[in-house]
Structures are given as C-alpha cells and as structure tokens.
Chain A
Amino acid sequence: MRRSILLASALATTLALTACGSGEGTAGGSGDEPADDAASATAQASGSLTVWVDETREAAVEQAAAAFEDETGVDVELVQKNFEDIRADFLAQVPTGEGPDITVGAHDWLGEFTANGVVAPIELGDKAGDFIPVSVEAFTQDGQVYGLPYAIENIALIRNTELAPEAPKTFDDMIAAGEKAGTKFPFLIQSDGDKGDPYTYYPFQTSFGAPVFEQNDDGSYRPELALGGKAGEAYATWLGEQGEAGNLSTDISYDIAVEAFAKGRSPFVVGGPWMLEKFGDLDLAVDPVPAPGGQPAQPFAGVQGFYVSAQSENALLANDFLVNSMSTPQAQTALFEAGGRPPALVEAADAASEDPLVAGFREVGATAVPMPSIPEMGSVWSFWGVTEASIISGKADDPAAAWDKMVSDIEGSIG
C-alpha cells in the first residue's frame, strides 16, 4: 500500500510540473522522484488509450494524460464528443469494439450501461474512502463500483448580496425580500417552455415530502414511485398557485435566467456552480434553496465520473490511468478548475472549498439526494417536466388531477 502512495506522490509531482510549465516538466521531475524505477522501466511500454471527453473537460484530462504518458510511455488519445451524444454513442459503439477505453459520463447513465453490459467495474479499493461518500455510492450498483467519480454537482440558491443582504429562511421570505429589492423578478428559476425543468424544481418538490422513487436503506432507489399521493398533490397545488401569482414561469429559460440575474434584475436565482462564471463581478452568496413545504428542500446531486468500457482491450491501462492518475488531488483539482464542478475527492474538495461559493454549494450538497440511475427514471422524465410546466402555465385547470394523471401515466409507461 505504501508503494501506491509513493507512486501517487510521484505522479502528483509530475502532474504539478506539467501543469505549470507546459511540457518542460517531464525530465526535471524525475530527479527527486522516489519511484523512478517505475518510470524508467515503463518508458517503452506499448499500448494506447482512447478517452472520450467533452469540451469542458478536455484540457483538464489532457494534463493528467500527459503525465500518465510520461510515466508509462503509453499514448493517450482524447476524443472530444458532445456530452449529450456520449451516452447513446457509448451504448452503440462499445459492442462493436469501436468505442473508447474510457469515457467521461454522469452517474445516472449507470443503469442503462450495466443493463447493456457496456461498462466494467472499477475496483477503487481503499481509495474509495478518499472520496465524498455520496459520489462513490452514486456509481455503485449491486455492491460494485462502475465509475471513478470526479465531481459532484448540485443546485442551490445563488444570492446577489447587494440586492438581498440576508439569506431567506422560507420561500415566502424569499419572495418578500425579492419584492422589497424592487427588481423585475422577485426570484429566478429556469424552466424550458412546455418541457419544464423538474431537475431544477426538485428541491421544492422534496420539501413537500414527495421524492421520485422509494429509497432503500443504503440510499439506492427501487422502481416504486413515491411522488404521488397527498404530498405530490400538495406540491402540484403549490405549483399552480405560484404560477398564477407569477413567481414561477415556464418561459424563463436557462439563458434568460442567467442573463437577468447577471444584469441585476433579481436578487435570487436557483442554479448550479456552472452559472457562476457568467456572473462576473457581482457579490454573491450561496444558500440552501428555501423550502415552501414542511420538509428540507433537497436538490438532486449529480455525480460526474469516468467509466471503463467492458470491451476495452486496454483494461489494465485504463484502470491504472483512472485509479492511479485521475484520483489524485492534482487531477481532480485541475478538472475542477476547468469545469467549475466541485471535486469528488475529499482532499481536492477541501482545497476548492476555500472559495466561499464552492463551500456554499458543497454545504447544500451535503443534504442532496443522488439522482436515480435506475432505467425507470427515463419514463419519469418524459412526463414529469411537461406536467409541471402545464400546471405552472395554468393550462391544467386542476393541478392535483393533472399530477395524479401523470403518476398513472408513468406507471403505465414503466409497465
């Protein structure tokens, strides 16, 4: 075990050097490397790794890949894909043998990936303890870990401290504070036309005690709907009221919400860390989403990570790369700096939490629930948002009835 720690620190050195001096750190780093036997022995190793990344992660993975290339002599080829395409393409291409060795991905793809046998388990061993527990849990199915987590993301309430100096306690407090600020919108939450955005609205829903699925004791979900019943109807009624009052609107898209907040047209916006770069020089604070219902408002936690293809011909290299190169604080911090998503590795997360905004998101994230990764979730998404949108926009006259119909439609679709 000590050996792997030594190795990790050797990698860390190399990584850090490549990070500051582009490419010139390779030779200089080996002098004080404690595990230089590994480096020299493997200088001529053969093999190559193909990694699918999306645009925002490419640069960060490239740093880690360069260090890994220097250490092992293998060639790491990064293929840039659209994040949305990766899921379907991975499913389609892995069985043909054309897919990558490793791909970046989200934890909620796991159910589909295992059902199709396209991912291989990753043994994190004792390293599992170095990660924030929910991140590893999210990639776990049936006791096996299938992904190396690198980031946890969740939404929270972002507040413009100039317009609203204090964090609101309840939803009504927030509306009152927003109205007092005299801005165009009391608060902003994104939706997507008649498709709705149940992901962003989820904290409100959980505050009424209506989670999507029943959860087992270990945190995993079972495919039994829990969003119906009295609690769900209460949430639906609330949506209808707020839509009528004009506090919620399905016309506010992501772009519109971000731009309005950036221009100071509202003191509050519900959103994630990915929005922050658009808010430039505003003075911000990150608070929990205020609960309109009686229970805490829990957002979804989404975990991002790397999967290894079940058909990889370089499984050994792929696992080595992930477990020993991508799980270092340096690599995870580089990914954080490139994409703004809070790291999943505790050490990197602690470092990132020096930024109060990141710390704020992390604090809210502690109460978050992982997004279900069971395949049944697909059926839920396709009814959920549309129903919420039609309730908010007032198209559904009877919110509770619309909600009940949604529940029975989802049940029909799950079969």
Chain B
Amino acid sequence: MFDITKIRADFPILKREVNGKPLVYLDNAATSQTPQQVIDVIVDYYHRLNANIHRGVHTLSQEATDAYEQARIKIQKHFNIAKPQEVILTSGTTHSINLVANGFSSLLKEGDELLVSAMEHHSNIVPWQMLCERTGSVLKVIPMNANGELVMEDFHSLLSEKTRLVFCNHVSNALGTINPIEAIISASHEVGAAVLVDGAQASPHIKADLQALDVDFYTISAHKVCGPTGVGMLYGKEAWLKKLPPYQGGGEMIAEVTFDKTTYADLPHKFEAGTPNICGGIAFGAALDYMNSIGFETISSYEAELLAYATEELLKIEGLKIYGTAANKTSVISFNIDGIHPYDIGTILDKLGIAVRTGHHCAQPIMDFYKIPGTVRASFSFYNTKEEVDVLVAGVERAKNMLL
C-alpha cells in the first residue's frame, strides 16, 4: 500500500521552509532527496565502521570492506548484472562515461564512427568529442523530432559497418523522453557496435534489467536514487572491461608494482584506483534498498499519475508550452510561457518556496533545436503530491501575472 504521508515522513528536508513557505521540491531530476534510512546508514558508517578498505587486516577495515562489497552486490542484483566484478563504483555518471571514453582511445582509429543521440546531457557528448579529437573518429548525431523523440529511421540509416560506438540516454534529463534503447542496442549489435546507455535519469523511475537489455555499458549516479552525491556506477560487460585499459593509476588498482613494470589488478579494482567514496558506496546500496522497499512498479505508477495531473493542470495556463511530449516519458515537465524568460519564472517560484530548475539543463543542443534560451523544468518524485502540483500551478500563474 502506497502511503504518501508515511513516505514523506522519511525525508527530513521536506519539512523545511524556504522564503517563509513550505518547501515544494520539484527539482528531482537534478538530485533526489535523502530519506532518514539512508542518512542513518551514513551516520552509522562514521560512528562504527570508518576505515580504509581492501587492505587492512584489522576488524574495522574488514567490516568496512564487507559493507562496501555488499553494496556492490546490492547494485549488481538491482540491475540484474551477471557478475559483481562488472559493477565499477565511480564518482558518478560523468566519471563513468569519461572512464569508457578514455579507454576507447586505444581501440578506435581514424574514420571510425560514433553515434550520439540529439538529446544527450553534455556529459554524454563532450567526453566523446574529446575521444574523437584524440582518435580522428567522427561523431554523428541521431536526430530527434518536435515531440522530443529520436527519429529511428535516421538512426538506422546512420548505422553502418563503420559504427563502433552508440551513446544514448535511457531517459532525457531535459525532456523526460524514455528512449527505445532495446531497439537501439539490438540494431547496434547487428553492425558490431557497442552501446553505452546513460541511465542517470531512468534510474529513479525504471529498474533496468541489464542482462535482458544486453547493453554493453550502463551508467548511473547514486544521488538520483535517494543516495548521496559523489558516487555512481559504471556497468560494463566483463569482456569489454577486460579490453579497456585502466583509466587512472594508483593504489588499489595494481597487482604488483616495480619500477620496471606494474601489473594491474583484476576487475573491478583495475578501474577503482585510490580510496573510493566508501561511505557513499555503502549509502548507495542502502538507497537502492529504500527504493526497492517501496517498489519501482508502485513508484512509476504513482509518478505517472502525478505527471498526468500536472500536465493537465499546467496546460490550462494560457500561453504555456510543454517541451518534450513523447508518448513514453517520465515525470518531467519542461515548459515555457510565451513572452517570459524561464529564469524570471524560476526566480518568482523560488520566492514562493518552489524549487524548479531553469536554464538549458546541460543539454544545449536540445534548446538550440527548439530555438529557446532554456526552459523551466519541474521534475516529480514519488514523494511529491498532487497538492504540490497545485502549488506549482498557482505559482506559475502568479509569476505570469507579475511578469507579463
């Protein structure tokens, strides 16, 4: 049974006020809030477990190592990943993508082609542009239509024997579009191309089965799923991770070091140089436990209800236009009002205690596509309510009256 009052009580931050008004937090696509259950794990770590991992013989180090490795197993199970060594713990999606992009420097040659979707976050564009500069490979763009959906016919015609890598987000951060990654993965594999899916925005809404998807790389950030910032996952198929050279050198990632030659540790440690975010990793596992205790089916059906209600109510405002109207989308609404800059709306909403994101959402190519400076983005989580949607709609009305 989904008890919203009980769920909201798990999040201490939701009780605070902003500018004298109760906080209405609708910037969940930027970062999710942290439930007490996860905060408790973080506090407990520093109260009871804090030690460096994977090397100490003392009890604290052993216990911290166990907790960290258990978190890896939780992540593995959550995404139905075949082996724990295919879970690389990183500082987040950006780190994960850079790790892969760096690794491919030695595997690509001039004239190889890389395909990127038109609706990527800058973190899934720039590392590949840098890779292309290093290797002489060419980056080609899978276009999108006015609804914010990828044009699949164009994707199929861009695919060729030259295509080595394809990058796409599972869900667009700016528009909420759920991309047809199953079709993208299978078609890419037919021409022998590997696929990296950025799952950062999908992870709070969709529990991806990575073996079923047969995806080569999948990345997420813990802070989108009620976990802390500064920790995330790179999933890679073992065969790929073995092929890629280490990203950073240092402690933890080595088997043996001499001044003549160093041999590298096995997976996953080969990619985990240095002391990791131990507490963050453990809390990441706890955050997935929390999300799973509510259940992703429950979460997504509740969020779908919120999305439908918010879309309907916002569209009643004259002059309001929603960007990203894909048939298949998560609870994200990007919008503008005719004649008003999104930043002005965001400023007034903040005065009313409503947190939304304004700007280009690190996805400038999407804004260029629509020829707009940015949008106001309200993104809903399972702890938001219809009453909060009403506060948002009233706030937007008020901003409109002030600004027009």
- Whether both chains belong to one complex is answered with no
Q: Which residues of A contact B (CB under 8 A)?
A: none
